[in-house]
Structure 1
Amino acid sequence: MSYCSAIENMQPESRKELHKKYHDNHYGFPIHDDNELFGRLIMEINQAGLSWETILKKEENFRNAYSSFNIKKVAAYTEEDRERLLNDSGIIRNKLKVNAAIENAKTIIELQKEFGSFEKWLEHHHPKTLPEWMKLFKKTFKFTGGEIVNEFLMSIGFLKGAHSENCLVYQTILKHEPMWKKV
């Protein structure tokens, strides 16, 4: 079942609306801001083992806890910041996920130095198959298993599959020139 049809079958209405907002305005749309790309990576990493609904409900908490996903600020986090995050009940308090966010911010800064931006690093490696992307992410980042990489890349328009072709949002996304279309 696609994410598109899953939303239609949800109950109650508040759950459906939460997912619909993400589906209609974010999922599969290209992101051109490195901090927002980093934020989406944090969200996908934190979703591992949990429902996407849990993450969507905590999105603002994540944004606040991780300095509005500012890569430079997160890369400079200290041990005190790690402890603050591990004690923040508004986010997922998993040491591996918290450490991954901080270490991945440091990695992205290095990628920005070499390629100009995180987005340009992604573009430099496009196109790749999912297994190739998975291998690259595993080599480059922390806590990025296959499902995380797949969802991250679909959610930012690098891999096809975020929406079925009969989904109304699919046509809107095509107007934004997702990377999968540029193959």
Structure 2
Amino acid sequence: MTSYCDSAPDHPWHGPYHDHEYGFPVQDDNALFERLVLEINQAGLSWLTVLKKRAAFSDAFEHFDIATVANYGDQERARLLNDARIIRNRLKINAVIHNAGVILKLKENYGSFKGWLDAQHPRSLNEWTALFKRTFRFTGPEIVNEFLMSTGYLPGAHREECPVYQQALEQSPPWSTPSPSSTHSSKG
């Protein structure tokens, strides 16, 4: 089976994501929220489909501003469901809006979404998945795994022989601290 590290380089969509984002730590809450939104929307689809719609998602969800999305009501839901540029799935759209509200509440206790994630680290994938299922909507094991790998909380985004592996490691992602288990990417 070809890994993402083999197939992504030099690809017009996968290449930039693989080389500059995937597995690197993310500091900004709206960027973390974007990754969660993208992973939720990938469910049942290819990652390429999501990457091609990424700019449209950013526009549709107002640059992933958590407070703005958390306050979406019926009018915004209808707008999103009618926006052909994005993935128009009612369950996914409702989950994104609900999860934005959850993140706002987490920020009250932890200062930020990143603060909440940092306070939970390290955990095994099973522990993370159970936590996300209790906390958020539409966050099954695959979504949780890819979200956490893509943002540096779980290892496995890159093979050690991939040149990007060392670049990500130099930015001290949370996975580079001792954790109870490791996991593997399924992006490939």
Output aligned runs, 1:142-157, within 5 Å: 142-157=137-152
The DSSP-based 3-state class of the residue aligned with 1:17 is coil
CA shift at 1:6, angstroms? 2.4
Aligned to 1:5: 6
With normalisation by structure 1, the TM-score equals 0.95
Q: Does 1:86 align with 2:77?
A: no
Per the alignment, residue 118 of structure 1 pairs with 113
In 2: Cα distance, 1:63 partner to 1:7 partner: 22
The percentage of counterpart residues that share the same residue type is 55
1:55 matched to 2:50: yes
SS at match of 1:149: helix
Q: TM-score, normalised by structure 2?
A: 0.92
| Residue aligning to 1:102 | 97
Match of 2:12, SS state, is helix
Give a deviation string over 1:34-84, Cα, whole Å, max 9, x none.
011001100000000000000000000000000100000000111000000
2:181 match: none
2:175 is the alignment partner of 1:174: no
More helix by share: 1
State the match for 1:163 in structure 2.
Answer: 158
The within-5 A match list for 1:19-98 is 19-98=14-93
In structure 2, C-alpha distance between the alignment counterparts of 1:175 and 1:75, rounded to whole Å: 34
Q: What is the CA distance between 1:149 and its match in structure 2? A: 0.1
2:23 aligned counterpart, secondary structure: coil
Number of aligned positions between the proteins: 177
Query: After TM superposition, which residue ranges in structure 1, 4 or more long, deviate above 4 angstroms?
Result: none
Q: CA deviation at 1:182?
A: 1.6
Post-superposition Cα deviations, 1:17-47, rounded to whole Å, max 9, x if no partner, equal 2110100011001110001100110000000
> Gaps spanning 5+ residues in structure 2: where?
179-188
